[in-house]
Amino acid sequence: MTESTTLRLLLADDQALVRGALAALLETEPDLRVVAQTGTGADVAELATAHDVDVVLLDIEMPGVDGFGALEQIRAAGLDCAVLMVTTFDRPGYLGRALAAGAQGFVVKDTPAEQLAEAVRRVHRGERVVDPSLAVDSLAAGTSPLTAREAEALREALTGASVRDIAARLHLSPGTVRNHLSAAIGKTATSSRGEAAVVARDRGWL
């Protein structure tokens, strides 16, 4: 593909106004064209295939299938389109998760239009693009100290579920769940499972 070729873009964001604004900004660039939009991650892989897109711009927080789930579906389908995460949620841990899952870039939504357009071009060329402030914050936050089971228990705790409910959902004993939650509380330096869940979420560990 030559530099003069128009790049075909897919936007996935559950906020219609934000999605429309991003589309309008990107289409002011002569080499960028938004060929599909969606408000959910559930149909991203299908749309990317149907419209033969070059770059997918993914929001993270979407109902049902979120950005991470959509990214997993794109990679599972073997699609070779580039993926740029564009989100208002600049939690440091999200960066590591996105890159580990196969995203080529991660920027926040208030990125200036020209920089966003250039980020799209760069990820399509195979480069990695990361918001500098997020990179610094991610290093400061470090990798998640939580085990898979501890993270699962905290995700359920975020919903306000009781230990008994969490145990039923995860098919574990209440005692085992309490142990996982206690370990997570210690690792997050908090005093309750609710606080631990919030801290872990905000650091992108869930």
**Domain limits, the chain:** 7-141, 148-202
Give the model's pLDDT for residue 141.
52
CATH of domain 148-202: 1.10.10.10
Give the model's pLDDT for residue 135.
53
* pLDDT tens figures, 105-136: 988 888 888 999 999 999 999 998 887 766 54
* pLDDT tens figures, 19-45: 999 999 999 999 999 999 999 999 999
Give the model's pLDDT for residue 178.
93
Q: Residue 3 — very low, low, confident or very high, per pLDDT cuts 50/70/90?
A: very low
Structural class in CATH, domain 7-141: alpha beta
* pLDDT tens figures, 130-146: 877 665 455 445 577 88
* pLDDT tens figures, 91-101: 666 777 787 78
* pLDDT tens figures, 65-83: 999 999 999 999 999 899 9
Q: Residue 2 — very low, low, confident or very high, per pLDDT cuts 50/70/90?
A: very low
Q: How far apart are CA 139 and CA 122, in angstroms?
A: 23
Contact, 206 vs 158, CB < 8 A?
A: yes
Contact, 205 vs 172, CB < 8 A?
A: no
Same fold, 7-141 and 148-202: no
Looking at the predicted structure, is the pLDDT value of residue 151 above 80? yes
Higher pLDDT, 181 or 138: 181
Rounded mean pLDDT, 37-58? 96
Helix axes 193-202, 174-187, angle to 10 degrees: 60
Q: What is the mean pLDDT of the chain?
A: 87
Higher pLDDT, 201 or 168: 168
DSSP character string of the chain: --TTSPEEEEEE-S-HHHHHHHHHHHTTSTTEEEEEEESSGGGHHHHHHHTT-SEEEE-S--SSS-HHHHHHHHHHTT---EEEEEES---HHHHHHHHHTT-SEEEETTS-HHHHHHHHHHHHTT--EE-HHHHHHHHHH-S----HHHHHHHHHHHTT--HHHHHHHHT--HHHHHHHHHHHHHHTT-SSHHHHHHHHHHTT--
Q: How far apart are CA 85 and CA 123, in angstroms?
A: 11
Q: Residue 88 — very low, low, confident or very high, per pLDDT cuts 50/70/90?
A: confident
